Amino acid sequence: MSKKIVIANWKMNPSKVAEAKKIYNGIKKGVTKIRGVDTVVCPPFVFLPELAKLGVTKKLALGVQDTFYEETGAQTGQVSPAMVKGYKAKYTILGHSERRALGESSDLVNKKVRHAIVEGCTAVMCVGETERSDEGDYFRVIREELEVGLAGVKRADLSKLIIAYEPVWAIGKRAEEALDAPALYEMVLFIQKVLTELYGRAPAQKVPILYGGSVKPSNAKEFVEVGKVDGLLVGGASLKANEFLDIIKEIV
């Protein structure tokens, strides 16, 4: 995959819509000059309408950080892909470790992934182990999250799927505490192997695999060049337009 994808996960930030608009405008302006990268900003739901008014472009899309598996209904607090599509959101991050930590199971993630795809929304399904032991148990964890999360997702649906590998222990840390790039490459090969078992080699190779976990301008290039990922999912560093743009510039 030559074109890279960089996704900003703002989580529950910033606190004010004016700040959200400022960051978004900064990113929007900056990405016009960068070629070869598709950028997606996933703000909190409440900021989506205002950011949608600022516009999306060929290089900058909008997404959200979760969606439910039904279109409407008695589901207090939930938001559906159909609703966010009305505000130009085309991507939905599903199964993020911060949601899994609140009790979201891979079965629930699977329902959300399938529904998002049916609604034409690209599902960014997050997988990641909470810790790494010498015995390599983390490979089993990733296999299970992939197999359960993708149950019922058909080969024809894969154009609406992105896998984000985020080792939980590497999230929200300093650059030096992120996963090292050769270990990332090993995991990328493993994810491709599992996807190949599920869908066959050629379809599996078309599914973008992103890395997330303490990505900064100083380590971004290695993840792509050595880790061989198709892009990055960026949390903390996506809340400063300049830092986020520096990450993008590092990988083109």
Enumerate binding residues for ligand PEP (CB under 6 A): 9, 166, 171-172, 212-215, 233-237
Q: Which residue has the tokens 């599903």?
A: 94
**Residue 43: half-sphere exposure toward Cβ, Cα within 13 Å:** 28
CB of 125 closer than 8 Å to CB of 114: no
Nearest residue by C-beta to ligand PEP?
Answer: 235
Min. distance of Cβ 201 from ligand PEP in angstroms?
Answer: 29
> C-alpha angle with apex 94: 1 to 79, nearest 5 degrees?
130
Please enumerate in sequence order all residues whose Cβ is within 8 A of that of 103, keeping only pairs 6 or more positions apart, or say none: none
Tell me whether residue 152 or residue 172 sits nearer to ligand PEP (CB atom). Answer: 172
Give the relative orientation of helices 137-149 and 106-118 as an angle to the nearest 10 degrees.
40
Min. distance of Cβ 2 from ligand PEP in angstroms?
Answer: 23
Active site residues: 96, 166
CB of 123 closer than 8 Å to CB of 157: no
Tell me whether residue 9 or residue 122 sits nearer to ligand PEP (CB atom). Answer: 9
Tell me whether residue 175 or residue 252 sits nearer to ligand PEP (CB atom). Answer: 175
CB of 82 closer than 8 Å to CB of 119: yes
